[in-house]
């Protein structure tokens, strides 16, 4: 790991418009790069297919959260009101799924929402408060009005000279190496 400090993380190319970065991403995707990404101030419509990203898996986390919320709600109410501490209220049954439904509905939504947020953070490996790109001088513009394409040095197709030439040919005027 001692050598890592002098190694570079990747090559960063700056673009000025969403159309430029989109065409660049399509090209990089078609050339078969694996460890690369696009950084934009807002989600660009159509960028997922331009990068070849498949449908996000966040839905599964949310679904699991929702199922957990509903079943645990039903079990909790049944156990509390019919098993552990039964009280008769107005001749109603000790447990009925209809009366128990509203709290379970809310718990479905509550845990489904936790699933969506924390699933998103987990899939994105966030929070990550330290990232080589965040140290880069120009990268702060990625949240302002610039668009960046980064190819990591760990990509099998990466080559210091060829990749730079490729990014130049895609119309980037500003290409730099990012230190690890």
Partner 1 sequence: MAEPLSTVQVQQPSGASQPLAIYAPPPELRREPLVQNERGIGWISDAIAGVAEGKTPLWWWIAFLPSVILMTVCFSMILYLMSVGVGVWGPGHPVMWGWAIINFVWWIGIGHAGTLISAILFLLRQRWRTSINRAAEAMTIFAVMCAGIFPLIHIGRIWFGWWLFPIPNMYGIWPQFRSPLMWDVFAVSTYFTVSLLFWYMGLIPDLAVMRDRATSTLRKFFYGLFSLGWTGSNRHWSNYEKAYLILAGLSTPLVLSVHSIVSMDFSVSQLPGWHTTIFPPYFVAGAVFSGFGMVLTLLVPLRRLLKLEDIITVRHVELMCKVTLATGSIVGYAYAMEFFIAWYSGNPYERYAFINRAVGPYAWGYWIMISCNVITPQLFWFKKVRTNMVLVFILSIFVNIGMWFERFVIVVISLHRDFMPANWGYFRPTWVDILTYMGTFGLFFTFFLLFLRFVPIIAIAEVKGVTPQADPHHPLGGAKGGHH
Which one of the spans 6-14, 58-66, 161-169, 172-180 is the region binding partner 1 (CB under 8 A)? 58-66
121 binds partner 1 (CB under 8 A): yes
Q: What residues contact 167, with CB distance under 8 A and at least 6 apart? A: 11, 13, 24, 149, 151, 175
Taking the C-alpha atoms of residue 138 and residue 7, their distance in angstroms, rounded to an integer, is 19
16 binds partner 1 (CB under 8 A): yes
117 binds partner 1 (CB under 8 A): yes
19 binds partner 1 (CB under 8 A): yes
26 binds partner 1 (CB under 8 A): no
Q: What residues contact 110, with CB distance under 8 A and at least 6 apart? A: 69
Tokens of 96: 């009925």
106 binds partner 1 (CB under 8 A): yes
Of the pair 137, 161, the CB lying nearest partner 1 is at 137
């Amino acid at each position: 790991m001692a050598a890592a400090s002098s190694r570079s993380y990747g090559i960063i190319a700056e673009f000025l418009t969403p159309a430029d970065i989109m065409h660049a991403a399509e090209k990089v995707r078609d050339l078969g790069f694996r460890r690369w990404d696009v950084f934009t101030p807002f989600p660009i419509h159509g960028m997922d297919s331009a990068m070849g990203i498949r449908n996000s898996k966040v839905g599964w986390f949310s679904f699991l959260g929702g199922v957990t919320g509903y079943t645990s709600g039903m079990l909790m109410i049944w156990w509390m009101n019919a098993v552990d501490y039964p009280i008769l209220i107005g001749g109603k049954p000790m447990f009925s799924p209809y009366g128990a439904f509203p709290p379970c509905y809310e718990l479905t939504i509550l845990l489904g929402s936790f699933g969506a947020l924390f699933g998103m953070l987990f899939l994105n490996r966030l929070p990550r408060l330290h990232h080589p790109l965040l140290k880069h001088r120009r990268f702060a513009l990625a949240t302002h009005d610039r668009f960046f394409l980064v190819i990591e040095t760990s990509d099998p197709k990466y080559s210091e000279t060829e990749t730079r030439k490729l990014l130049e040919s895609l119309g980037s005027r500003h290409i730099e190496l990012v230190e690890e």
